[in-house]
């Protein structure tokens, strides 16, 4: 029997102490960005997920050389802390030019700006030794469907992916699908859309997906099935584990906090496929509750990591021989009882 996967965990600095929300006063101060990295290892995290401007703040007004110097500094800091950069994502949704999307904007100058910014993210990823850029296509969609030509928009996204693959012969592109928010309707809402784009690209082995549990749920889909679909295509670059209580705003709740059984199913799918065996991270995208004071606020990250480990114990003690027997008898009532009793700790 092969030895059990030693999972490694990652999260992005945006998961720590962002104290403001759109509907009330800040409940906690922002924690200084550069001090966040020292918090990773003591909490049991080995990977940092980055936006390009988490690495190089204010990069839009810096020269390529200045960006490189700052990225070099961060690379040294990561080495000193024993941390790995999991991915770098162009934060394409705050610039004035990308209000109506970057890659799919109707304006050629905006699309050019988006491409330039994406190249800088690839440069930064290369300097940090990260193998992937993540495209969370936040504003690549519309508020009214007539605003853009959807067929052309898909072509533009594919063209961009091909350009990234050409620009760097080693970089991987991981698409993070999400069906809505900030746009009303997004062009790449599901894993299936992302994998279709991958297959249509000029080097599909370098185009994968990162699946966020809550994003799948917002699309009305089962997060574990989305992960299974990507794994079946050998295209699960990473995950953003979290939870979501129904079809609302993007909540980024603690993994398992809204639906423990769904969280169990996700861990089961990952473990069964040997995910993590090639160095893939268990990435978390969880936010502190809006009511939570403190500085820095970290318990949601520690707790979600712990919930993953506890669910992993449940997955590893789930009796697959029994499961098979229930399946053979098509006794799903019995299978559900076994599963729920197992989750509830009954022997
Ligand atoms: C949004 C995402 C985003 C990315 C990287 O849900 O988590 O922050 O992962 O752009
Ligand atoms: Mg995410």
160 and 207 fall within a common domain:
yes
The domain containing residue 341 runs over which residues? 319-347
Nearest CA to ligand 1 atom 9: 136
181 and 61 fall within a common domain:
yes
Query: 136 C-alpha vs ligand 1 centroid, how far in Å?
Result: 6
Mean per-residue pLDDT, 312-334: 98
Q: Which tokens belong to 33? A: 């960005």
Catalytic residue (choose from 21, 29, 46, 51): 51
Mean per-residue pLDDT, 45-67: 96
Q: Which tokens belong to 200? A: 């249509």
- Write out the DSSP string of 69-130: HHHHHHHHHHHHHT-EEEEEE--TTSSGGGTT-STT-S-HHHHHHHHHHHHHHHHHHHHHT-
Q: Is the pLDDT of residue 20 over 80?
A: no
Q: What is the pLDDT of residues 76-113, one digit of tens each?
A: 999 999 999 999 999 999 999 999 999 999 999 999 99
**Does some domain include residue 54?**
yes
**Does some domain include residue 2?**
no
Maximal CA-CA distance, the chain: 66
Q: Is the pLDDT of residue 1 over 80?
A: no
Contact 10, 282 (CB under 8 A): yes
Number of the ligand 1 atom closest to the C-alpha atom of 90: 10
Provide the sign of the torsion angle of the four alpha carbons 54, 192, 100, 144, taken in this order: negative
Cα–Cα dist 162/217, whole Å? 29
**Does some domain include residue 3?**
no
83 and 98 fall within a common domain:
yes
**Does some domain include residue 326?**
yes
State which H helix or E strand residue 328 sits in: helix 320-328
| Structural domains counted in the chain | 2
Query: 61 C-alpha vs ligand 2 centroid, how far in Å?
Result: 26
Mutate to test the pocket of ligand 1, among 18, 102, 136, 141 (most ligand atoms within 8 A of CB): 136
Nearest ligand atom owner, CA of 14: 1
CA distances from 284 to 134, 178, 220 (A): 14, 16, 20
Cα–Cα dist 121/132, whole Å? 10
272 and 328 fall within a common domain:
no
288 and 327 fall within a common domain:
no
Judged by average pLDDT, the poorest of 6-20, 147-161, 262-276, 277-291 is 6-20
Place of tokens 């390009």: 52
Structure confidence at residue 24 as a pLDDT band (50, 70, 90):
confident
Q: Which residues contact 182 (CB under 8 A, 6 or more apart)?
A: 93, 138, 139
Q: Could you tell me which of 126, 128, 85, 137 has the C-alpha nearest to residue 281?
A: 85
Q: Provide the 8-state DSSP code for 43.
A: G
**Does some domain include residue 208?**
yes
Structure confidence at residue 173 as a pLDDT band (50, 70, 90):
very high
17 and 47 fall within a common domain:
yes
Q: Provide the 8-state DSSP code for 23.
A: T
Contact 52, 308 (CB under 8 A): no
Contact 56, 76 (CB under 8 A): no
Q: What per-residue confidence (pLDDT) applies to 82?
A: 96
Cα–Cα dist 74/37, whole Å? 10
155 and 93 fall within a common domain:
yes
290 and 335 fall within a common domain:
no
Determine the 3-state secondary structure of 186 from DSSP.
strand
Place of tokens 């490694």: 8
CB atoms within 10 A of CB 210: 28
**Does some domain include residue 327?**
yes
55 and 114 fall within a common domain:
yes
State which H helix or E strand residue 11 sits in: strand 8-11
Q: Is the pLDDT of residue 163 over 60?
A: yes
Q: Which tokens belong to 42? A: 């003591």
Number of the ligand 1 atom closest to the C-alpha atom of 250: 6
Q: What per-residue confidence (pLDDT) applies to 18?
A: 78
Nearest CA to ligand 1 atom 4: 136
194 and 97 fall within a common domain:
yes
189 and 152 fall within a common domain:
yes
Q: Could you tell me which of 231, 137, 143 has the C-alpha nearest to residue 177?
A: 137
**Cis-peptide, bond into residue 296, ω within 30° of zero:** yes
**Does some domain include residue 1?**
no
259 and 111 fall within a common domain:
yes
Residue 33 designated active-site = no
Q: What is the pLDDT of residues 143-159, one digit of tens each?
A: 999 999 999 999 999 99
Nearest CA to ligand 1 atom 7: 285
Residue 252 designated active-site = no
Catalytic residue (choose from 53, 54, 243, 250): 54
**Does some domain include residue 24?**
yes
């Amino acid at each position: 029997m092969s030895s059990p996967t030693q999972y490694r965990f990652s999260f992005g600095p945006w998961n720590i102490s962002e104290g403001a929300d759109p509907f009330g006063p800040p409940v906690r101060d922002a924690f200084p960005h550069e001090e966040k990295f020292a918090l990773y290892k003591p909490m049991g995290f080995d990977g940092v997920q980055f936006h390009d401007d988490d690495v190089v703040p204010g990069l839009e007004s810096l020269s390529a050389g200045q960006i490189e110097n700052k990225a070099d500094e961060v690379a040294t800091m990561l080495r000193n802390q024993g941390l790995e950069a999991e991915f770098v994502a162009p934060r394409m949704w705050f610039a004035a030019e990308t209000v109506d999307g970057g890659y799919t904007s109707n304006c050629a100058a905006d699309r050019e700006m988006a491409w330039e910014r994406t190249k800088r993210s690839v440069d930064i990823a290369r300097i940090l030794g990260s193998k992937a850029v993540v495209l969370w296509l936040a504003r690549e969609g519309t508020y009214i469907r007539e605003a853009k030509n959807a067929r052309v928009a898909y072509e533009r996204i594919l063209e961009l992916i091909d350009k990234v693959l050409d620009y760097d012969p080693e970089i991987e592109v991981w698409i993070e699908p999400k069906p809505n928010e900030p746009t009303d309707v997004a062009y790449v809402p599901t894993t299936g859309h992302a994998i279709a784009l991958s297959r249509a690209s000029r080097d599909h082995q370098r185009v994968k997906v990162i699946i966020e549990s809550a994003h799948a749920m917002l699309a009305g889909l089962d997060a574990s099935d989305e992960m299974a679909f990507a794994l079946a295509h050998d295209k699960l670059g990473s995950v953003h584990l979290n939870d979501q209580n129904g079809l609302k705003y993007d909540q980024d709740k603690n993994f398992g906090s809204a639906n423990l059984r769904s969280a169990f199913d996700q861990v089961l799918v990952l473990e069964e496929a040997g995910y993590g065996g090639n160095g893939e991270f268990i990435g978390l995208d969880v936010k502190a509750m809006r009511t939570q004071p403190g500085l820095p606020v970290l318990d949601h990250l520690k707790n979600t990591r712990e919930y993953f480990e506890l669910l992993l114990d449940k997955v590893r003690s789930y009796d697959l021989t029994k499961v098979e027997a229930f399946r053979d008898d098509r006794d799903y009532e019995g299978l559900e009882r076994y599963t729920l009793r197992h989750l509830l700790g009954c022997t």
